[in-house]
Structure 1
Amino acid sequence: MELLKQVIDELRPKKDVMDKCTVVLDNINSEIKKKKIKAMAVLGGSIAKGTFLKDDYDCDIFVRFNLSYKKKNISDLLEKIIKIFPRVERIHGSRDYFNFKSNQINFEIVPVLNIKKAEQEINITDCSPLHVKWVKDNLDKNPKLADEIRLVKAFCKACNVYGAESYLKGFSGHVLDILTIYYAGFMPLLKNALKWKEQEVIDFNNYYKGNALERLNKSKLSSLVVIDPIQPERNAAAVLSKENFFLFKNSANNFLKKPSKKFFEKKEITVEELKDKSKHKKLVLLDIKTFEGKEDIVGSKLLKAFNYIGKNLVLNGFSIYEKGWKWDKKKSSLFWFILKDEILSEYYKRIGPPIKNKENVKAFMKKHRKTFIQNKRICTNVKREFRKPEDLIKTLKKTRYLKEKTKKIGMFIY
């Protein structure tokens, strides 16, 4: 397809990105040698696989420590090695790693043990280089798949289903690698995705011989079950939400019906576009100031705050036509809710138990002074606490729940 050839040309990165990454890699290895530490730095992620996208300025570097260091704190050892770089940030996790920026590239330096097989892992990150090797081995057999993976990644980023962080619940780069290699390309993946049912199993090595759903731990099941070819006891797509599973299928269907470059272009929605979309409706914009912290933790707090507000709007009788949120991964986030433009009635009907349930009816009548019977159920009219969404949100802003999740909330009504 000519369209895909054009997109691939636009997605391929410049060679100088790899050169800049190699300079940092060489500097780390030089420092390791000086300090006489038994370790070696290697490129990781999409840079190592040769599948990274143009303008995707993130580079993972794994520093693989000899197994003789398995009882030592290799994060502390790595910190001493990378002191040669300015403004290095230590990120706390199950095993601390490091982040810094150089030549407009974001570097993530991760300490791992130099294991040869997954069973030797001490920390989940120890297996990451093995995942890279698996992808590279498969791309060596079919080099054209590198560009196919680029297409899949760009497609998923554009339809907002990319990213396995807990607040995104999308497809990880690793899962997209497996799927693209399994189906041998972008178009075959999309065509097969249309046939996926919930809890579809992708078992590259046929490890479970069709019995994955019976043998896997139920807590590891999700809408899509992708057996990790390196760690078969693991569902690589465990974090994928049902919503993003169906969003991917829907996007695949739309592309196959009418292919277009727009399916590969990530577009950030603007306030002006939201105003246009909400004509003859009510638009509620919430400008959120976030706390500082680890991206995954801050993002999870924002997602919980967004869901909490949306849930309370519905519970209080407001009709939501569309909602969404975006975050700059720094200090600001925007929530939006497009609602029916109305002031709710002063009272709403609360439906009680069937009139044949004497005890429950008695309890209902004790709680509510004025009642009536409708469709063989006891009912009452209850005065609303909130008739406008902005009044509800003003109250929610004061709750302990939202104060713990957000630093400040500004509200704008259109």
Structure 2
Amino acid sequence: MSDADTDHDECDDGSNGSTEDGNDTDAFATVVSRVRDRVDPDDDERARLERVANQLLERAAAAATDRCADADAMQVGSSARGTWISGDRDIDIFVRFPPDLERETLERYGLEVGHAAVPDGHEEYAEHPYVKGEVEGFDVDIVPCYRLDSAIDIQSAVDRTPFHDQYLQARLDDELAADVRLTKGFMKGIGVYGSDLRTRGFSGYLTELLVCEYGGFRALLEAAVDWQPPIELDPESHGKPRETASPSRSEKAGDAGLPFDDPLVVIDPTDPDRNVAAVCSAENVARLQHYAREFLAEPTVEYFEPCYPDRLSKSQLRAHLERRATTPVALRFDAPDLVADQLYPQLYKSLSGISQGLDDRGFDVFRGTTFTDETAVIFVELAVAERPAVERHQGPPVHVQGHAKGFYDAYADDEDTYGPFLEGNRYVAERERTFTTARAFLESDRLFEVGLGAHVETALEDDYDVLVGEESIGLLEEFGTELRRYFEPRP
């Protein structure tokens, strides 16, 4: 799902446009009323979606039962639960097959049903293939899964979705559904909505769970202001023992001893082994807290309007570089042909590895980011871009005989080394530095010794450009908006 293309000259931080009556309750209600007019689908829009969804259900069910008598089809997701925002055009149909059907057969049947329901559709691949297409202006996914008695018995990740739908259908009334739409609009406006691995924000399912948990839009914002991460919510009180639960990530859990080591933990009501919020970054949890506090203090509709800044100009970029007196360096290469959820984790890993490699060589990474379009960029800002021709290497104390003698012998006859000599009770050597500039390191084969994403590494092996300092102006044509966000950051 792509953002709108509308640009604003500058992004409002929400501080303008407050109501004049000074009454917080009235101001909140006024803004909510205005926003509801935007986010709530009208009767005609609902009727169009219902008509198309019913047609798709009929086609999918007929095609499925032709192949397997025990199959069925159901509409899932926000369009099924009435939590979709006006203008959203997504319809998700899940085709359920009995659990004893072989996986290969399920995939084959699923694609056949998908093409029967959406004749002009094309095949895409997640955990298994499915059909995606457009019908009367609606984006449609036809996804096969297994019909199971419990989400704990899932055979693929998509098998959970029908359980999610059933759980929320039983709990969302019209008022809560309306508050979900408000919450989604707010999250889109502040940039935290979306569970894709580029955004690393709040999924639709997570948003609906949070609204149900707290009882509405305002109650959720008021609670978020007071969150003390890590936050743990357990809607169905599964009470899974902390010592036996598996962490969401590979790192060890923090001091809080939570079963999941994420900043926000919402245990899936249908599966106690899953954290629904595992993808949420700490930054996006903090971003929600920041804007919840700001909005409650001074409600305005601007918080529901995504920020699309103008491109940074050459003169503006030069001004930032002069003011900051830092040195940007960028690696630019052809973007690997991957979907965003595969590409961005590799870009983030590569950004981390390259930053560490620069730090280890004394170039002091100040901040960094990554972005992609036709090309991909690892962009790192350095506090130090050039180092002396020599570097210190501190050895062990002299009295640690074995290690000390080894250190001394390694450098004693090296004509390119100053020393070894003593500082206090330790040997020290000053040796020739391998790389005196960040560019030299980034253009060397040593770059490939840092942690890189597999496809990013392959792309770099093919070819890449290194841009240093004002050479980063060459990025403006493709990434002027991203560079404005970098050099003019906001929460």
Same fold at TM > 0.5: yes
CA distances 1:75-115 after superposition (whole Å, capped 9, x unpaired)? 2112122224224114152x332323444543322112233
Distance 1:87 1:168 in 2: 27
SS at match of 1:399: helix
Code of the residue aligned with 2:234 in structure 1: it is D
Distance 1:262 1:372 in 2: 64
Query: CA 1:37/1:83 → structure 2, altered by over 3 Å: closer, same or farther?
Result: farther
Partner of 2:455: 404
Partner of 1:216: 245
Equivalent of 1:5 in 11, 28, 33: 33
Q: What are the within-5 Å matches in structure 2 for residues 355-394 of structure 1?
A: 357-368=400-411, 369=417, 370-374=419-423, 377-394=426-443
Q: Which moved more, 1:264-273 or 1:167-176?
A: 264-273
Distance 2:332 2:265 in 1: 37
Q: What are the within-5 Å matches in structure 2 for residues 163-182 of structure 1?
A: 163-165=194-196, 169-182=200-213
Q: Tell me how far 1:157 sits from its aligned partner.
A: 4.2
Q: Tell me how far 1:293 sits from its aligned partner.
A: 3.6
Q: Structure 2: state its 5+ residue gaps.
A: 1-27, 249-258, 412-416, 473-491
Larger relative contact order, structure 1 or 2 (CA cutoff 8 Å, min sep 6): 2
Query: CA 1:74/1:3 → structure 2, altered by over 3 Å: closer, same or farther?
Result: same
Q: Is the 8 A contact 1:321 1:339 kept in 2?
A: yes
Partner of 1:61: 93
Query: CA 1:270/1:309 → structure 2, altered by over 3 Å: closer, same or farther?
Result: farther
Q: Tell me how far 1:296 sits from its aligned partner.
A: 2.7
Q: Tell me how far 1:382 sits from its aligned partner.
A: 3.9
Code of the residue aligned with 1:89 in structure 2: it is E
Distance 2:139 2:435 in 1: 47
Distance 2:183 2:423 in 1: 55
- RMSD over aligned Cα, in angstroms? 3.5
CA distances 1:194-215 after superposition (whole Å, capped 9, x unpaired)? 433344220112221xx65345
1:326 counterpart = 2:371: yes
Q: Tell me how far 1:279 sits from its aligned partner.
A: 4.3
SS at match of 1:115: coil
Q: Tell me how far 1:373 sits from its aligned partner.
A: 4.4
SS at match of 1:153: helix
1:77 counterpart = 2:109: yes
Query: CA 1:134/1:347 → structure 2, altered by over 3 Å: closer, same or farther?
Result: same
Q: Tell me how far 1:62 sits from its aligned partner.
A: 0.7
Query: TM-score with structure 1 length normalisation?
Result: 0.82
Query: CA 1:397/1:365 → structure 2, altered by over 3 Å: closer, same or farther?
Result: closer
Q: Tell me how far 1:18 sits from its aligned partner.
A: 5.3
Rg comparison, structure with higher value: 2
Query: CA 1:109/1:115 → structure 2, altered by over 3 Å: closer, same or farther?
Result: same
Q: Is the 8 A contact 2:363 2:386 kept in 1?
A: no
Q: Is the 8 A contact 1:222 1:237 kept in 2?
A: no
Q: Tell me how far 1:128 sits from its aligned partner.
A: 0.7
Distance 2:404 2:348 in 1: 39
Q: Structure 1: state its 5+ residue gaps.
A: none
1:349 counterpart = 2:383: no
Equivalent of 2:214 in 153, 158, 183: 183
Query: CA 1:355/1:271 → structure 2, altered by over 3 Å: closer, same or farther?
Result: farther
Distance 1:316 1:101 in 2: 52
Q: Percent identity?
A: 24
Partner of 2:132: 99
1:125 counterpart = 2:154: no
Question: How many residues matched?
Answer: 407
Equivalent of 1:312 in 354, 357, 365: 357
Partner of 1:340: 383
Q: Tell me how far 1:359 sits from its aligned partner.
A: 3.6
Code of the residue aligned with 2:383 in structure 1: it is K
